[in-house]
Structure 1
C-alpha cells in the first residue's frame, strides 16, 4: 500500500462518475433493490431498527461487486444484492455490522461528557420537538457533536474498506479493520480531498436545486432521485479507491488472501 498524493482523491471521484456512466441503469436498479430490502427489513418487529444497520456491510458488497462487473464488461444485475450473503464472508460481514452499531453507541455516549446527554436524547428520540428546540440554544450540543465525530473518525477509517477486504480477500474481521485503517492513514490527504469533494458536490447540487425550484415540495421531489444517483456514484468512487490501493479484485469465486503472497 503506497502513499498516494492528495490529488488522487479527486481522481477517485472522477473514476466513480465514469463507472456510473457505463451502466447507470444496472447500478440504479441495484440501489432500488437495496432500498426495497431495507424498507422490508425495517418493519420486522423488535429488530427493525438494528437489522438495517447490521446488514449495511452485507449489502455494500453488492455495489463494489457491481463495479467489478463493469470493469470486467459484465452486466450489473439485481441478483448481485445476494453477493454478501454467501459464506464464508457472511458471518464476518454481520460482525462488522454489529461493530458499526457499537462504535456509534460509544461515540454518541461519549458526547454526554460535554453536552449532558443532549445528543444521545436527540438520537434516541427521548426529546419531543418542542423540548429539543428549547434545550439546544442553551446547551453545548456543538461540542458534543464534535467529540462524537472525533471518536468515530478512526472507526470510520477502519470500516472504510473492511467489507470488500472481507469479501474479496477473505481475511478476518480484525485484519480487515487493520488493513483498512492503515490504508486510509497512509493516504490521508487523498481521503481528505475525496471527502471534501463529495461534501462540495452535495452542497452545490442542493443549492442549485434551491435556486431552480425554490424551497418547494418540487425541490424535495427532485432531490430524492439526485441523492440516489450521487450515493451510487459515491459507492463507485470507493471502489475506485479500493482498486488503486489494493489492486483490481479477482474474479468471483476466486480469492486472494492477505495472509500469503499471490502466485
Structure 2
C-alpha cells in the first residue's frame, strides 16, 4: 500500500462535508440523540462517569454505519445508535472501550507531574477549584502534556473500532493495525488535524468576534454559534469515515451479498 499524500487530509474533510450535505438533518438528529443519551448516562451515580467513555467505540460505529448508509442512498435513522449493541463484535468493542478508559486515566494521571494534580482534580471533580488555584498552577501546560501522553493511544484507537466490527479483527490486532496505519499516514493526519483546528476552533472564534462587534448581543452570538458548532462536530464525525476507506477500503456492507461473502476477513 502506497503512502497517501499530505493533501489527503484535506480531502478527508471535504468528503466529510459531502456526506453531511446529503443528509444533514438525519445525521444531525443521530448526533443529538447520541448527546442526549450521554447526558442521561451521566445521571447514573459512579457509572455515569465511566460508561460514556467505555461506550465510545460502540457508538462510534453508529456514525460510521450512518456514513455507509448515506453512500448507499439509504436513510439514516436514530435507531442506528443501537447497531453496535446488535453486533457480534459488541464484546470486543466494549473491551476496546475499557482500554479507552485506561488510556485516559493514565494521560490524566501524567498531568500531575506538571501541576501537582490541579488538572486531575478539575476533571475528576474531587474538589472545587477557585481561580487563584488555577492561575498559580501550570494547568495549561499540564493539559498539553496530558494530550501528548494520550497521542499514541489515540493513534492505536483511531481505526480499532471499524477494524473490529468490519474486518472481524481481535482487539489487540485492531489496535496494532490502527497504530501503524496512522503512523504511516502521519503527513495526511497532520494536515487533517491542522485543518480541523482552523475550521473547528479558529473559524468559530472569528465569527464570534465579528458578531460581537457588529451586534454586541450575547444571545445572538449563542444562537449562531451553537448550531454552527453542532454542524461542524457532525461533519467531523462524518470525516472519520473517509479516513478509514482511503486506507482500508470500503466495508463489506458496500459489496453485493455474494461478493461480501467471498471477501476474506482478517482474524
TM-score, L = length of structure 2: 0.90
The 2-side partners of 1:98 and 1:7 are apart by 34
Q: Is the 8 A contact 1:170 1:257 kept in 2?
A: no
The 1-side partners of 2:142 and 2:39 are apart by 30
Deviation at 1:25, TM superposition (A): 1.7
The 2-side partners of 1:257 and 1:165 are apart by 13
**1:14 alignment partner in structure 2:** 14
Unaligned runs of 5+ residues in structure 2 are none
**2:234 alignment partner in structure 1:** 232
Superposed counterparts of 1:128-167, under 5 Å: 128-130=128-130, 133-167=131-165
**1:209 alignment partner in structure 2:** 208
Deviation at 1:3, TM superposition (A): 1.3
The total of aligned residue pairs comes to 258
The 2-side partners of 1:249 and 1:78 are apart by 21
The 1-side partners of 2:185 and 2:40 are apart by 38
Q: Is the 8 A contact 1:2 1:245 kept in 2?
A: no
Deviation at 1:141, TM superposition (A): 2.4
The structure 2 residue matched to 1:194, chosen from 192, 195, 210, is 192
The 1-side partners of 2:122 and 2:27 are apart by 34
Task: Write the deviation string for residues 118-152 of structure 1: whole angstroms up to 9, x where unpaired.
Answer: 2111212234242xx21233322233223212210
**2:266 alignment partner in structure 1:** 259
Q: Is the 8 A contact 1:2 1:186 kept in 2?
A: no
Deviation at 1:61, TM superposition (A): 0.6
**2:116 alignment partner in structure 1:** 116
Deviates more, 1:112-121 or 1:156-165: 112-121
The 1-side partners of 2:49 and 2:225 are apart by 25
Superposed counterparts of 1:69-148, under 5 Å: 69-130=69-130, 133-148=131-146
- Cα–Cα, structure 1 residues 88 and 236, in superposed 2: closer, same or farther, change >3 Å? same
TM-score, L = length of structure 1: 0.91
The 2-side partners of 1:94 and 1:221 are apart by 37
Deviation at 1:102, TM superposition (A): 1.0
The 2-side partners of 1:118 and 1:36 are apart by 29
**1:171 alignment partner in structure 2:** 169
Task: Write the deviation string for residues 63-119 of structure 1: whole angstroms up to 9, x where unpaired.
Answer: 110101111121112221111112321111111111111111101111212221121
Deviation at 1:53, TM superposition (A): 1.4
**1:220 alignment partner in structure 2:** 222
Superposed counterparts of 1:1-40, under 5 Å: 1-40=1-40
Query: Per the alignment, in what secondary structure is the counterpart of residue 30 of structure 1?
Result: helix
Deviation at 1:60, TM superposition (A): 1.0
Deviation at 1:257, TM superposition (A): 5.8
Aligned CA-pair RMSD? 1.9
The 1-side partners of 2:177 and 2:217 are apart by 44
- Cα–Cα, structure 1 residues 140 and 10, in superposed 2: closer, same or farther, change >3 Å? same
The structure 1 residue matched to 2:249, chosen from 235, 247, 250, is 247
Moved over 4 A (4+): 252-258
Unaligned runs of 5+ residues in structure 1 are none
The 2-side partners of 1:99 and 1:196 are apart by 26
Deviation at 1:222, TM superposition (A): 2.6
